[in-house]
Structure 1
Amino acid sequence: MAYACTLDFNSDAFRSAAYQHYATLREAAPVFLSQPPGQLPIWYVTGAQDVETVLLDSERFARDPARISPQFAAMMGGDQSIAFLNDHMLNRDGERHRRLRRLVNKAFTLKAVNAMRPRIEQIAERLLDQAGPSGHLDVVSQYAFPLSIIVIAELLGVPAQDRDDFRRWSQLIVQQVGHDLSELQRCYAEFASYMLALIEQRRAAPTDDLVSALVQVEEDGNVLSSSELCSMIALLIVAGHETAASMIGNAVYLLLRHPHTLIQLRDSPDSMANAVEELLRYDSSVERAMVRFVTQDTELGGQRLQRGQLLMAVVGSANRDPALCAQPDILDVARPACPHLAFGKGAHYCLGASLARQELEIALNTLLRRCPGLQLEGTPESVRWRYVPNFRGPQALPVRWSVA
């Protein structure tokens, strides 16, 4: 399929019609090699079965570039400050991954996440209090991102006055495209320096937060190193609010495009938990899983892949595959939850899935209850998608509602 070789997955033209493109690719080229000019060749995998295979098979499709060679890992890792913040479980496989996951699971517990629910509700209410009198709001910048950054910052124990810095750092880290190397290096260095200082503060005087728990976590004498601590905290901050905020934006956009569904959920808030699963499936904020490295010559989807090549599993496409869900292009929040891959699958299944679900449920129920007659300002076609590799979410989502 010739056009697949030069597709720009991050362009406005592609993002505005992403699911039409994915349907075509699943049919004609479910596994294809793309090499736009000046970029590394990458295999893209769009069919649900092949995506699941990639996510479950860390022997052939690794997250850790060291599985190819130390030289390859050094090339992919960037400079020292960048590598220092990439020493987390998402970039490890096998026993290295299992060790990190066990340690982090001892600190990032379901009990700690569930204890945040009343606070998440308070934050959502306060953000709408601030916008309420006007009857106007940008869901992205005034609701979704503030909500998610406050939640993850409070969970970790990051002081309120430092949240703007975290937002700036995480934006640079997830975007990368369009920023020069010196700017990224400075961002990573600032981030790492801040993390190290915060870790030392919590070592000296632990508090009731996740950073303190991560510092103190131990299993059979095994603890997290400084680089592992910094990297894990950075991962939680970036992934913990970028993906949640974009998913809130996606979900609100979908409900505005489906007003009968919006009314249905507004009148039946208890049904939101099931609706969240359908919204996650229909338009996930994680459009593509993190890049994998092919560790051996192998076959996938009828294609021959070579050791050392790069591979992307397109989660957004897999979630709309008829093999995974009947009538996948219909948004039906009343149907029994279809299986989806919005949080991945296998060893690297998203650690923060429970927190993300909780934030999305609370954010939507609060918005629908507090904002009667919610409407999009402008046309659906005027909404633009953020230029962020791997993630999908609107740049802005201005809405209005009736004010008594």
Structure 2
Amino acid sequence: MAYERTLDLNSDAFRGEAYRHYAALRQASPVFFSQPEGQLPMWYVTGAREVEEVLLDNERFARDPSRINPQFAAMLGGEQSIAFLNEHMLNRDGERHRRLRRLVNKAFTLKAVNAMRPRVEQIAESLLDAVQAGGHMDVASQYAFPLSITVIAELLGVPARDHGDFRRWSHMIVRQVGHDLSELQRCYSEFADYMLALIDQRRAHPVDDLVSALAQVEEEGSMLSRSELCSMIALLIIAGHETSASMIGNAVHTLLQHPEALIRLRDEPALMADAVEEFLRYDSSVERAMVRFVTRDTELSGQRLQRGQLIVAVVGSANRDETLCANADTLDITRPACPHMSFGKGAHYCLGASLARQELEIALNTLLRRCPRLRLAVDPGAIRWRYVPNFRGPDALPVCWSVD
């Protein structure tokens, strides 16, 4: 495509027609270089085969910038408060990553996630209790985001009075654009100070929550440092609730565009567990994997990449690739599960995948049961997508339903 080198994947024009653009890019250039004005030069990978190759090859495509240039990694770390939030396992490769993953896996278990199911159901019900009689709400701000932040905050052990602060901090850190540097630095400092105080408190007086479990977990004499703990908790809060909330919004938006699927799932809620996989594939909240660094001069799909360059795997595009899934642009809630990449692939596969699936299933089944004849309350063309570089989700999703 002639415009690849100046293609802005963050623009409203692109986001509104993202999947049409991705289809054209996969056909013309599944690996392309782009540098829109004011943005970093970047390789983008849109084909399923190429995305999988990038996600699985941590030798050529590293998450840890120190493997390219220690000074560059230090620059990315910035001031101490920012560094305290960057020492998580997604920013590490090899044995450093495996150590962090093993320690966190000891605390963030499937048993702990499954134990949350009754509470997730209760949270969803209470949020709809507050709006059901009115017959309308914004799914994003009144349902998806409060549900997801409450779930992850309670799992970690963050007091309810502080949930609003966490949502504000995470929105600012993930979005970043539209805030001046001093405002961002203040946000990082507030977040780090709060988390470090909570960690110290839980180490001294552990209770039955994930922060306490992470603070106490040990393997062969190794424990998570305060900085690693702070970073891991930040990752769980920010990535966890932002992606889950956007995924709920995306799935509701998709159902409103496919009323036959909505009706069938409303009438047959047992289908939802399998339908969740199709929603994850069809419109993933993780549109792009986190940026990686090319560790050596190499070739990918006929393109020559140079050491030190940045590369992004566009997961949302890969999930719509016909080589991955037949009739990929068609929503089919009864489709046998396709091998989508919405939770990543390989060593950096999403730790919270089980929790995300559970939240999505419960959120959708509860909404369809409680809000009969659910429909979009605005023109479909009025929906705008959040301006967040790696994530995809509606900025607002006004809906209404019948009130008997």
- What is the TM-score normalised by the length of structure 2? 0.99
Runs of 4+ that moved beyond 4 A: none
- Aligned amino acid, residue 286 of structure 1: V
Where does residue 363 of structure 1 map in the other structure?
A: 363
Q: Which segment is superposed worse, 338-347 or 68-77?
A: 68-77
Quote the Cα distance in structure 1 between the aligned partners of 2:361 and 2:266.
12
- Secondary structure of the residue aligned to 1:311 is strand
The residue number in structure 2 matching 1:392 is 392
Aligned-residue offset at 1:362: 0.1
The residue that corresponds to 2:257 in the other structure is: 257
Alignment of 1:85-104 (within 5 A): 85-104=85-104
Please list, as runs of the form range in 1=range in 2, the aligned pairs for 1:336-347 lying within 5 A after superposition. 336-347=336-347
Q: Structure 2: where are the runs of 5+ without partners?
A: none
Offset, 1:80: 2.2
Structure 2 residue aligned with 1:375:
375
DSSP 3-state at the match of 1:126: helix
Structure 2 distance, partners of 1:276, 1:38, is 37
Question: 2:164, 2:10 → 1: CA distance?
Answer: 26
Residue identity opposite 2:141 in structure 1: S
CA distance in 2, matches of 1:287, 1:96: 26
The Cα offsets for residues 130-156 of structure 1, whole Å up to 9 and x where unpaired, read as 001101111000000000000000000
Q: Secondary structure at the match of 1:328?
A: coil
Structure 2 Cα separation of the partners of residues 79 and 3 of structure 1: 37
Residues 312-321 or 80-89, more deviating? 80-89
In structure 2, how many angstroms separate the alpha carbons of the residues matched to 1:144 and 1:194? 24
Moved more, 256-265 or 35-44: 35-44
SS at structure 2 position matched to 1:293: strand
Cα distance in structure 2, aligned partners of 1:149 and 1:260? 31
Please, which moves more after superposition, 317-326 or 178-187?
A: 178-187
Displacement, 1:374?
A: 0.3
- SS of the residue corresponding to residue 312 of structure 1 reads strand
Aligned-partner Cα distance in 1 for 2:249–2:387: 15
Q: CA deviation at 1:235?
A: 0.3
- What is aligned with 2:297? 297
Alignment match, 1:227: 227
Partner of 1:157: 157
SS of 2:198's equivalent in the other structure is: helix
Which residue matches 1:402? 402
Distance across 1 between alignment mates of 2:183 and 2:302 = 41
3-state DSSP class of the match of 1:343? coil
Tell me the equivalent position of 2:118.
118
- Residues 99-151 of structure 1, C-alpha deviation per residue, up to 9 Å, x if partnerless? 00000000000000000000000000000000011011110000000000000
Distance 1:29 1:179 in 2: 34
Partner of 1:14: 14
Partner of 1:54: 54
Match of 1:208 in 2: 208
CA drift at 1:75? 2.4
The worse-fitting range, judged by mean Cα deviation, of 359-368 and 173-182 is 173-182
Aligned residues: 404
Q: Percent identity?
A: 79
In structure 2, C-alpha distance between the alignment counterparts of 1:38 and 1:372, rounded to whole Å? 46
Distance in structure 2 (CA, Å) of the matches to 1:290 and 1:83: 17
171-180 or 114-123, larger mean C-alpha shift: 171-180
| Equivalent runs, 1:42-191 vs 2, <5 Å | 42-191=42-191
Code of the aligned partner of 1:347: A
Give the drift of 1:89.
0.2
Aligned to 2:283: 283
Asked whether 1:239 is paired with 2:239, we answer: yes
- Match of 1:242, SS? helix
Q: Give how far 1:282 is off.
A: 0.3
Separation in structure 1 between the aligned mates of residue 125 and residue 175 of structure 2, nearest angstrom: 30
Equivalence for 2:270 = 270
Residue 311 of structure 2 aligns to a residue whose secondary structure is: strand
1:127 is aligned with what amino acid? L
Q: What is the CA–CA distance in structure 2 between the aligned matches of 1:201 and 1:190, rounded to whole Å?
A: 17
Alpha-carbon deviation of 1:11? 1.4
Deviates more, 1:119-128 or 1:29-38: 29-38
In 1, the alpha carbon distance for the partners of 2:187 and 2:135 equals 37
**How far did residue 402 of structure 1 move?**
0.7
What is the correspondence of 1:308-319 to structure 2 with a 5 Å cutoff?
308-319=308-319
Amino acid at match of 1:148: S
Q: Deviations over 1:56-79 (max 9, x none)?
A: 000000000000011121222232
What is the distance in 2 between the residues matched to 1:198 and 1:153?
12
The secondary structure found in structure 1 opposite 2:331 is coil
Q: Which amino acid aligns with 2:171?
A: Q
Q: CA–CA distance in 2 between the matches of 1:21 and 1:110?
A: 38
C-alpha distance in structure 2 between counterparts of 1:357 and 1:255, whole Å:
17
Quote the residue 1:197 is aligned against: 197
Query: RMSD of the alignment, in Å?
Result: 0.7
TM superposition shift of 1:39: 2.3
Q: Deviations over 1:165-199 (max 9, x none)?
A: 00010001100122111111111111000001000
What amino acid maps onto 1:306 in structure 2?
A: Q
Structure 2 counterpart of 1:193, which letter?
A: D
Deviations 1:37-95 (A, max 9, x none): 23221000000000000000000000000000111212222322212110000000000
Quick check: 108-117 or 27-36, which moved more? 27-36
Give, in whole Å, the separation in 2 of the partners of 1:137 and 1:60.
46
Q: Which amino acid counterpart does residue 389 of structure 2 have in structure 1?
A: P
SS at structure 2 position matched to 1:184: helix
Q: State the alpha-carbon separation in 2 of the partners of residues 182 and 304 from structure 1.
A: 38
- What letter matches 1:201 in structure 2? Q
Gaps of 5+ in 1: none
